Structure 1
């Protein structure tokens, strides 16, 4: 397949073409020519859109897909389609299906189901068997089967010695360990941020301390063991400071933040809408401001949609009984651009790939095409018609967004939204 991308502004800081408007010719999946103007032949598919921008393909480090076991929430096929149309050429998939992905066979199943798709699926293997925080899972076997990291989704490692052993063991094969930042004994039965809004609404609170105490513990363990630790989806100002100090010490630690924790606060809870019930919970304006500053300072390494599709039975219930989670792939770019610049947004949506041990050749002649196409200036109100996922549990319905993905070109395939 030959493809000509016309008049695209290239956002690629490490490329000689950064901020230049060029034509990009792709032949058989490879970028063969980048020039000011390229004339297509009759067999070339021409892609041309208003205010077209392109960047290295985006990567999301935390995506949940129901399959296997919860296909009513999302299938692998539709999840990858949704990711691609939302601008992501690669996603790391959490091990929270049924069964939990804690063996090489489970990892192999996910890889096989995703074979041949435009968007690459990179499985995260469970750190512990059944994500129960009792015994380590088959980390090395899962690594050989294609797992890019190991962690228990939204479940903390309750046994500190288990985290110590995991960090020590994973160093044998350069494995990345994930540790969800919540001390459950402090969180207790809380379901929202422990602050004025939660108290006013009569909802039990999860104090910021629950996150910060766990992070402090994990960083002490990392300092002792060495190894590579990633702390997903932090949400408080003090968490930022803890990680900043750890990086100053030279510890090999990274962290991410969910986009909804960047742009939404617990003020949203006033309507008792369960789409705002997420983990970690939505915090205060002080926290969101600290998180955005940390992004711009480089303390927080990248962002994630933390996409978690849940069907009606899990969300259309009393707030106390609803499951945690919101979908976020479709709204990720538009929501992120409400708090950072376009260039920063692209950086935050691409740098996770390196942390997870994956390579990207960027945008230049002679490399495999792996690019995202988008319009950074389109403003719109996000509504249910923009949702591509099987489940509709979005915290962004009704939000004003800036920026929209057209789609991707990857794995010698074109995946573009029709409207």
Structure 2
């Protein structure tokens, strides 16, 4: 571990779990720990970190990203994905099991954990709960958990086999956290290109109805109730979906859900120009759905915001809209976009709370971390007022599908502190 000592001067603590929340203090970091907090701190030999409008929070954690390594390194690699995440202010990234081969064995989990040791970003493996993500046979979940898998999901693959889903919930009941799933009915989504509504009719594109989400969500909630298990819905996109989760929670069921970044920011109206970089799943939906998602985050029905970073190549995106692959790249601008577009609707404190504590809670990662003296934790330093333009940014990811061109952001990560090392963020 790097033994360097760092002294941060006059930083605003943004951490509701900390006794120093919203205080402006000096922070002394040494050997991966917060050695001291206070005013006018001095430390001989410490590296001085100072500037204007500095804010410090627990390190931001990405709920799910696909670095496509192994199998599709032309889209992204662990190295390029980590560079993108770190530039965006993330200290840890939960990685999708949807690689080639699938993360469905102990050795696959160990591969990710071994590469994490020398990375500026912690890799948190999410393992597949069915072999090969085929939805036919359970994977060795306990062995993968012992190897370092923090959570289990089915990637972006639907689970049409209700019997398999029931078994997965039963087995996962003995493991920490909740089983994660992206619920949708494949028959209802077949051939769909965007949200089903007046805009899809206007653009002449086949729609994906909200019913595609709610049908299997209702089934999975029933299975979770039957098995007395915890279930977490990834990327909830619709008002109907939020209502189902709210009703389940009112019954005392262990049901939760998160939301994807772009579903909070844009709607299907953004597809007027057939921008394939905004061809997403779950799709961008209506303004009513967007407002419902924001309200659900505020009242606690939903918790956590995922960038859902899905890198694609030029060939996969720069083609006819109906031939383009789903997904957008997002990691380098996740916080900046949220702060720019939702600073007034959600507020800075809630945005940071989602990226840090709520995302940690969902994947059971250092959930007791808070900025306090003696704490061992990762940190993100940022300026919520700094403006920067995407066209001036030298992209770290290999992805060709960031949905930005000439876009001015407000808010930028300045550095991260992970594994006892300070990582300044620069172009």
* TM-score, with length taken from structure 1: 0.96
Match of 1:344 among 346, 350, 361: 350
Aligned counterparts of 2:395 and 2:262: Cα–Cα separation in 1: 16
Residue 355 (structure 1) shift? 2.5
Q: Secondary structure at the match of 1:331?
A: helix
Is 1:415 the counterpart of 2:418 in the alignment? no
Query: Superposition pairs for residues 8-407 of structure 1, below 5 Å?
Result: 8-41=11-44, 43-174=45-176, 176-337=178-339, 338-339=341-342, 340-350=346-356, 351-359=358-366, 360-383=368-391, 385=393, 387-407=395-415
Give the superposition deviation at 1:186. Answer: 1.2
Matched position secondary structure for 2:331: coil
Paired residue secondary structure (1:32): strand
> Per the alignment, in what secondary structure is the counterpart of residue 101 of structure 1?
coil
Paired residues in the alignment total 418
Question: Which secondary structure does the structure 1 equivalent of 2:132 belong to?
Answer: helix
CA distance in 2, matches of 1:396, 1:243: 32
CA contact (8 A) 1:331 1:396 kept: no
- Residues of 1 paired with 2:407 and 2:217: CA distance? 31
Indicate if the aligned counterparts of 2:177 and 2:362 stay in contact, CA closer than 8 A: no
Q: Give distance in 2, aligned partners of 1:257 and 1:154.
A: 14
- Contact kept in structure 2, 1:257 and 1:302, CA below 8 Å: yes
Q: CA–CA distance in 2 between the matches of 1:343 and 1:309? A: 29
Partner-residue secondary structure (3-state), 1:414: strand
Alpha-carbon deviation of 1:343? 0.5
State whether residues 31 and 368 of structure 1, in contact with CA within 8 Å, keep that contact through their aligned partners in structure 2. yes
Contact 1:86 1:407 survives alignment (8 Å):
no
Q: Could you tell me whether the CA contact under 8 Å between 2:194 and 2:207 is conserved in 1?
A: yes
Residue 407 of structure 1 and its aligned partner are, at CA, apart by 2.4
- Bigger Cα displacement from structure 2, 341-350 vs 116-125: 116-125
Partner of 2:199: helix, strand, or coil?
A: helix
* TM-score, length of structure 2 as denominator length: 0.95
In structure 2, C-alpha distance between the alignment counterparts of 1:171 and 1:222, rounded to whole Å: 10
Structure 1 residues 285 and 381: CA distance shift in structure 2, 3 A: farther
In structure 2, list runs of 5 or more residues that go unmatched.
Answer: none
Instruction: Structure 1: state its 5+ residue gaps.
Output: none
Q: CA RMSD in A?
A: 1.5
Alpha-carbon shift at residue 342 of structure 1 (Å): 0.8
Counterpart secondary structure, 1:330: helix
Say if 1:363 and 1:394 are closer, same or farther in 2 by CA, change over 3 A: same
Secondary structure in 2 matching 1:59: strand
- Secondary structure of 1:405 counterpart: strand
